Amino acid sequence: MTTQDQTTAPANAATKVADKAAPNTVTLDTPVRHGDQLITAVTLRKPKAGELRGIALTELLQLKVEAIQAVVPRISSPMLHKQDMANLDPADLVALGGVVIGFLLSKEQKADFLTE
């Protein structure tokens, strides 16, 4: 058991460091295959107003599937296509949606959320 604990600790520490280094990167619970590429992690960038066109912000804040599926392909790297989004594990979809919601909050709102 000691060996397992010792090997797990560095892995957990590395994961925490990676999360701080790339807070907008979501490691997928269930990787998605796009052609020959297996997508295991997706990095999102903050959308510009034009990339939110046709989307009600309230629908994003409510984690509506259609809204998340419309916005994420516009701001993801590697780019997730419509079919990729349809094949996502629901837990991965929620994780991506959570990052998108974070982009919509002001610094003050994020601070209030984190302190409460």
pLDDT tens track, the chain, 116 positions = 444 444 444 444 434 444 555 789 999 999 999 889 999 999 999 999 999 999 999 999 999 999 999 999 999 999 999 999 999 999 999 999 999 999 998 888 877 766 66
| Domain that includes residue 96, residue range | 24-115
pTM for the predicted model, two decimal places:
0.76
User: Which burial class, exposed, middle or buried, applies to 39 when counting CB atoms under 10 A from its CB (0-12, 13-18, 19+)?
Assistant: middle
At residue 13, the pLDDT reads 40
Identify whether 110 is part of a domain. yes
At residue 9, the pLDDT reads 45
Identify whether 98 is part of a domain. yes
Which pair of structure tokens corresponds to residue 89?
């594990």
Report how many domains make up the chain. 1
Identify whether 80 is part of a domain. yes
Identify whether 2 is part of a domain. no
Identify whether 6 is part of a domain. no
